[in-house]
Amino acid sequence: MNGDSALDEMADGSGHAKPHWRSLLSTMFALGHETLAQRAHLLDQAFAEEGITAILPGERAVNWRCDPIPLLLSASEFSALETGLAQRARLMELILADLYGPQALMAEGLIPPDVVYGNPAFLRPCRTVDGRRRDRYLSFYAADMLRGPDGAWRVMADRTGQAQGLAYALENRRMLSRIVPELFQSQRIQHLRQYLEITSEALQALAPDDGAAVALLSGGHADPLWFEHVLLARELSIGLVEAGDLTLRNGQVFLKTLRGLQRIGVLLRREEGHRVDSLELSAGAGIPGLLDAIRGGSVRMVNDPGSGLAEAPALTAFLPALARRLLGEDLRLASQATLWLGEGAVVRTVLRDLEGWVVRRATDGDAPPIVPMQLSTADRAELAVRMEADPASFAASVAPTPSVAPCAGAHGLEARPIALRMFMTFDGTRWRAFPGGLARALSEEDALAGRLPRNALSKDVWVMADETSTVQGALGLLTPTLAIRRTSGDLPSRVADNFYWLGRYLERLEEAARLQRAMITRILRPSPTAREIAEMQVLVASLAKAKMMEAEDASVLGAGMLAASVMRAFRHDGGMRRVLAHVARQVQQLRDRLTGEMHTVLTRSLRILGENMKRLPPDSNVRSLEYASNLTTEILEFAATVAGLAAENMVRGGGRLFLDFGRRMERAQSITGELAQVLDQPGALTQPGRVEAGLRLALELRDSVITYRARYLAVLQPAPALDLILADEGNPRGLAFQLTTARELLREIVEDGDSLLMSMEPLLQESRGIVQEVLRSPDQMATTARLPAQLRKLEQAIGAVADRVSRRYFTLLPVARSLGMDSEPLRGAA
């Protein structure tokens, strides 16, 4: 243990371990330092592969870690915190109701107008004109707290906007219980499931009508807290939607699905409040008309879009007086002593001892605080000048001395200061606390308040069960019996679109790997034959068409130059890296729709592929080419793994349907375009050998050489080869298989006789007709040499069908704009 202060959280005033820590300490010492260090490493690895840090190639890294030693709260301590936080939540509700209503608190001088009107979180359209409001402003609340040297917890920041971080706490518990199960033995810890059930049922109870669904409104995969949105939606058994997924009809909110519109009655907001309505708040962002629907009561939003107003650090200075005015009582859980510098000579009081304060923007609860004692003399002087010039823009809190707790370190237990975030939910009658929390071990770079950092060492928080406590059930709300459903049409259009493009990008990645491997194999041969040189010409053209090679390189046939061009595709911003990044982005967008196993395999494989591409040797010699060839093999193995996971892990229909459909249509276009490319060679009409070489290459690229040899021995003729490539419905690498599979997939979402379904039959007839035409010809080689134009028309026809599917099910429309505003439209599934 580094320093006596490391016992602050687990020791009492006499230096002895607190009773609720003793059992855990015994287990920790029994495990020993080496075992704890090993478990800490396993936790880091688990988070990297399947948790919060499972970020894909090209994405900004998140380094969220969980310490193997939890933070313990006794039952009595937790009860006192719950009572104090419930009082603060009630106070925040009353403050928001007044500021968005009669504004009596400002009229009485209890809240300065600068703190409200100068706050970007104050959304004027959210104010009720008549002062009456049916809905609450807050259903969720959180607070960031520190324990001082006197042992008392104090609130550093109130979280009334989105109360973020709950999913991080859930993930910490899940990981810790799996990696260090010994710590949980013989421990009476309050379970988390009951809180989630209460929260889920409270959300369902808010729905204005039976049958109206609950959904979490997210900013999408680009949001830094996308992981939380995915996990929270899963744990609460609610949908995960984005603004583009929703539309308004007759004042009601609907989710756009493949089957039609699905009514939404409650939106759990995990999007910035000013971005929820593009008509009244931010042009180009949000659902046009949503605020009007909220006012009309057809949809509830929790928390209210304007609830972030109460997070203003300056407001903290007035909470004691506001509590006495609105609640008739003093705060049971005090804030860290805070001053708003816009009052009188307060700024001079702070500037006299600037190092003893923590400075924050007066109205921005997300901005990290400034700690003057950590600044250089010049920076501290510059801060003082800014504060004196515009004091109303700043609030200052007495610099805290947070308590410390033991953390697993490289050389034993280390003392680290701790910040604790606790979460509250209003269950319809009272505020309830989450029986845990999110604790963070602070370093000099960590913010004491503000947004959750992307890099942090966190702790699971255990609330010890009272010996006399009994398990209390969740709210007994009556829910209707659920009808059994096995449909694929309830899938949101955006999700179907993402699955479709994941399938297409996976197929493009696989096809590019086959082309690259074929090219590298020929470059590595010391003395290529004339036929191999002709094949390399065809491969160059195919790679250029697939954007795996620059167009100007297509005319170069020197082995060295070709090797350099091939290697560029695997390097930074090369074609292979770009397609891999497209796959990664689709996987990230579909995180809420993929099983845990499938997501883990995908992210781990993508990360390994990305890292292996970064290790590609810088030159273009034989060793580098062999390394690149191994990379193509890894990519093909990855594609096969994804296909197997989809077949065995995904329910037939829904996401799997569009994933498979996207792959089939992409492969169908690739087969026809590729075959046209290999047959379209100069002099093919007069030189049958060129046609034969093209067919051999086509069989190789379709992975059908062995099948052809098994059927026809070594004799290569055009009709049998084309039959295997174009018309054999049993060949999974052939065109007919792709078209028949795509047709059967369409049958699951369209009615018999639908024009979309009927459009598949002419494509199959055309592929069979090509083979029959060649088979009947007296000169099969010449007839085959004239096929490229016909094949390219077939490729275009397949693309036209794919476009029709996209227009019908995924078409992305611009969101409505405010009149007179000129902004870029968002994309949203229609």
Burial of 506 (0-12, 13-18, 19+ CB in 10 A): buried
Distance CA 422, CA 146 (A): 11
Closest listed residue to residue 234, CA positions, set 196, 184, 267: 196
Distance CA 13, CA 403 (A): 13
Distance CA 559, CA 565 (A): 10
The helix-helix angle for 622-649 and 559-568 (nearest 10°) equals 40
pLDDT at residue number 317: 95
CA angle 671, 677, 681 (to 5 degrees): 150
pLDDT at residue number 59: 46
- SS3 string of 746-780? HHCCCCCCCHHHHCHHHHHHHHHHHHHHHHHCCCH
Beta bridge partners of residue 104, listed in sequence order: none
CB count, 10 Å around CB of 87? 18
Half-sphere exposure of 485 (CA within 13 A, CB side): 9
CB 441 within 8 A of CB 457: yes
Distance CA 625, CA 627 (A): 5
pLDDT at residue number 598: 83
- SS3 string of 163-193? CCCHHHHHHHHHHHHHHCHHHHCCCCECCCH
Q: DSSP character for 376?
A: -
Q: Which residue has the tokens 């090679």?
A: 549
**282, containing H or E segment:** none
474: phi then psi, degrees, rounded to nearest 5: -75, 170
pLDDT at residue number 487: 54
The helix-helix angle for 493-523 and 788-809 (nearest 10°) equals 150
Beta bridge partners of residue 246, listed in sequence order: 255
447: phi then psi, degrees, rounded to nearest 5: -85, 140
* DSSP three-state, residue 680: coil
pTM over the 0.85 mark: no
Distance CA 254, CA 817 (A): 19
Closest listed residue to residue 341, CA positions, set 399, 400, 396, 398: 396
Question: Which residues, in sequence order, are CB contacts of 237 under 8 Å at separation 6+?
Answer: 200
DSSP E strand boundaries for 376-525: 394-398, 404-409, 412-426, 431-433, 438-441, 455-463
CB count, 10 Å around CB of 391? 22
In DSSP notation, 26-94 reads HHHHHHHHHHHHHHHHHHHHHHHHHSTT-PPTTSPP-EEEEEEEEEEE-HHHHHHHHHHHHHHHHHHHH
Half-sphere exposure of 591 (CA within 13 A, CB side): 25
Could you list the mean pLDDT of each consecutive 10-residue stretch along the chain, which spans 830 residues? 48 65 81 86 81 48 78 92 97 95 94 93 85 78 92 93 89 90 85 90 87 90 83 90 90 87 93 90 84 91 94 95 96 95 90 92 88 92 94 93 85 86 94 93 66 77 74 40 55 88 94 92 84 84 86 62 87 88 88 80 88 88 91 93 85 83 95 91 72 89 92 87 94 94 89 88 94 93 92 95 88 40 34
Q: Which residue has the tokens 């003395």?
A: 527
- SS3 string of 25-43? HHHHHHHHHHHHHHHHHHH
Burial of 315 (0-12, 13-18, 19+ CB in 10 A): buried
Structure tokens at 752: 């018999």
Closest listed residue to residue 796, CA positions, set 695, 690, 658, 665: 665
Distance CA 787, CA 227 (A): 50
CB count, 10 Å around CB of 444? 7
CB count, 10 Å around CB of 330? 10
